[in-house]
């Protein structure tokens, strides 16, 4: 074994972060590769996490800080794994790192560069609910708290106005560096954990739900960001492009479940959480949860669900998900569905939140090819069927954890991450 002490972790969500810290504690050198400019994954999009409703940032920020301060962990943001050669105990990994154009060492995160940048763009991390500049951090509270420059949009870098040096002039620390280049380098590692997480089902595939057509229809993540105190509305529940709050909200469960072919595990609970949030902020709002089944994966979830049902929201059973329709009526949104008696009913609301299904992340296909590991029929990473209860993939020495393996909650992701660490350490000590 050439480098028994090195481990590569791909993805810096809760699963990747937990594995990194554990392996560092065990004295291993960890390379934590993340394709975004920040670490933290999807959990940092949430204001609160069910069922304790503890503040997600308070839960995760100390973990992020610990990662950034850990001398055994090398965080490689804006990076992707291109190729993995070799065998367990001796993998040769090719990593491609995109230029940030801002020095991680020199930048303090003071934010003086954003206001002067003349380029205004939509902020995808904020679900396009707010703007960003060409030099930006995805959200306030980003860690590392160092912006990046979008090279395709920056006037200096894309050549539209080479003389634009506004951010550079505003920076007191000489942290802006237009000369940075994308790099490719090799890492020697003994084991790999894939923890690349998930994306949400594209609700525009379901035309009957009117997303994109009616501004009052939101995805689950859009709602999470409205809910977030560091988000576009600072946690105020305003309807899109207005300062009006909704009097009535319908939360639709299982959106895209039939299309993806599985239950996404977390949506019943996150929808209950959304109902609570609305009720706590808008006491008189009428809230409906339209569900077809209820998935509760932890011993403590039923109580949370029951409390939501009795205090915050009416729960309506929907017989056939495919027959739901959302349209405009009298300035409101009309949600029609088939009830338990298989007869058509409808409700009028100001806002609709679609609890969209979880699906494999966009990068997973390419990554699985680079890693030469198998995926299941849904596109998630498959655990080796001959190793029951293991989180090892089809390629020995490469493990999977969290939603890269299939939809699950934070608890389930952390359990798999800790199991992957056990797998790596067992392998290294042999």
Which residues are CB-contacts of 159 (< 8 A; sequence separation ≥ 6)? Answer: none
Contact of 180 with 101, CB cutoff 8 Å: yes
Nearest distance in Å: CB 278, other proteins? 23
Contact of 420 with 401, CB cutoff 8 Å: yes
Give the C-alpha distances (Å, rounded to integers) separating 413 from 13, 14, 50. 9, 7, 15
CB closer to other proteins out of 74 and 334: 74
Which residues are CB-contacts of 97 (< 8 A; sequence separation ≥ 6)? Answer: 76, 78, 79, 182, 183, 184, 185
Nearest distance in Å: CB 245, other proteins? 29
Which conformational region is residue 179 in: left (phi greater than 0), alpha (psi within -120 to 50 degrees), or beta? Answer: alpha
> Residue 100 burial by CB count (10 A; 0-12/13-18/19+): exposed, middle or buried?
buried
Distance separating the N- and C-terminal Cα atoms of the chain: 10
CB closer to other proteins out of 81 and 171: 171
CB closer to other proteins out of 326 and 401: 401
CB closer to other proteins out of 267 and 353: 267
Closest C-alpha to 163, from 98, 118, 202: 118
CB closer to other proteins out of 182 and 234: 234
CB closer to other proteins out of 69 and 242: 69
Contact of 229 with 332, CB cutoff 8 Å: no
Determine the Cα–Cα distance for residues 60 and 58; give it in Å rounded to an integer.
Answer: 6
| Residue given tokens 């379901």 in the structure block | 206
Nearest distance in Å: CB 275, other proteins? 17
Helix axes 410-429, 14-25, angle to 10 degrees: 30
* Residues at the site binding other proteins, with contacts judged by CB under 8 A: 14, 18, 22-23, 25-27, 49, 52, 59, 61-63, 65, 69, 105, 108, 110, 112, 172-173, 257, 261-263, 265, 293-303, 317, 340-341, 376, 378, 380, 388-391, 406-411, 414-423, 425-426, 429
CB closer to other proteins out of 1 and 422: 422
CB closer to other proteins out of 181 and 341: 341
Nearest distance in Å: CB 355, other proteins? 15
Q: How many residues does the chain have?
A: 430
Which residues are CB-contacts of 255 (< 8 A; sequence separation ≥ 6)? Answer: 201, 203, 206, 209, 354, 355, 356, 357
Determine the Cα–Cα distance for residues 242 and 381; give it in Å rounded to an integer.
Answer: 41
CB closer to other proteins out of 52 and 85: 52
Helix, strand, or coil here: 339? coil
Which residues are CB-contacts of 429 (< 8 A; sequence separation ≥ 6)? Answer: none
Six-digit token string for 231:
């988000």
CB closer to other proteins out of 356 and 416: 416
Nearest distance in Å: CB 156, other proteins? 22
Nearest distance in Å: CB 57, other proteins? 11
Nearest distance in Å: CB 153, other proteins? 26
């Amino acid at each position: 074994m050439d480098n028994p002490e090195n481990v590569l972790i791909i993805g810096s969500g809760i699963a990747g972060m937990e594995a990194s810290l554990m392996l560092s504690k065990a004295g291993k050198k960890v390379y934590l590769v993340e394709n975004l400019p920040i670490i933290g994954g999807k959990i940092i999009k949430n204001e609160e996490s069910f069922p304790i409703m503890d503040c997600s940032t308070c839960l995760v920020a100390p973990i992020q800080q610990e990662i950034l301060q850990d001398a055994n962990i090398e965080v490689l943001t804006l990076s992707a794994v291109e190729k993995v050669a070799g065998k367990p105990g001796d993998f040769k990994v090719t990593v491609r790192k995109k230029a940030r154009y801002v020095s991680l060492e020199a930048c303090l995160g003071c934010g003086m560069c954003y206001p002067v940048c003349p380029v205004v763009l939509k902020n995808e991390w904020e679900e396009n609910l707010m703007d960003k500049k060409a030099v930006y951090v995805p959200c306030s509270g980003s860690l590392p708290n160092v912006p990046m420059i979008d090279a395709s949009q920056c006037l200096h870098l894309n050549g539209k106005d080479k003389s634009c040096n506004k951010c550079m002039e505003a920076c007191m620390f000489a942290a802006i560096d237009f000369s940075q280049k994308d790099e490719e380098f090799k890492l020697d590692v003994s084991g790999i954990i894939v923890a690349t997480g998930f994306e949400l089902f594209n609700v525009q595939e379901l035309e009957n739900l009117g997303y994109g057509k009616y501004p009052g229809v939101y995805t689950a993540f859009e709602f999470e960001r409205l809910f977030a105190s560091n988000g576009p509305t600072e946690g105020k529940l305003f309807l899109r492009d207005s300062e009006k709050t909704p009097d009535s909200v319908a939360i639709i469960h299982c959106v895209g479940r039939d299309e993806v072919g599985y239950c996404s595990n977390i949506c019943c609970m996150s929808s209950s959480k959304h109902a609570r949030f609305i009720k706590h902020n808008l006491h008189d709002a009428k809230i409906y949860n339209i569900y077809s089944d209820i998935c509760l994966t932890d011993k403590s979830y039923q109580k949370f669900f029951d409390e939501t049902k009795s205090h915050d929201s009416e729960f309506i059973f929907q017989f056939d998900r495919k027959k739901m329709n959302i349209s405009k009526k009298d300035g409101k949104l009309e949600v029609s569905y088939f009830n338990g008696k298989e007869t058509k009913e409808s409700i009028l609301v100001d806002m609709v939140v679609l609890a969209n299904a979880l699906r494999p992340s966009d990068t997973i296909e390419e990554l699985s090819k680079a890693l030469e590991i198998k995926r299941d029929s849904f596109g998630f990473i498959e655990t080796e069927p001959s190793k029951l209860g293991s989180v090892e993939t089809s390629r020995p020495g490469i493990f999977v954890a969290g939603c890269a393996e299939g939809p699950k909650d934070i608890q389930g992701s952390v359990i798999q991450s800790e199991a992957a660490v056990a797998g790596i350490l067992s392998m290294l000590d042999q």
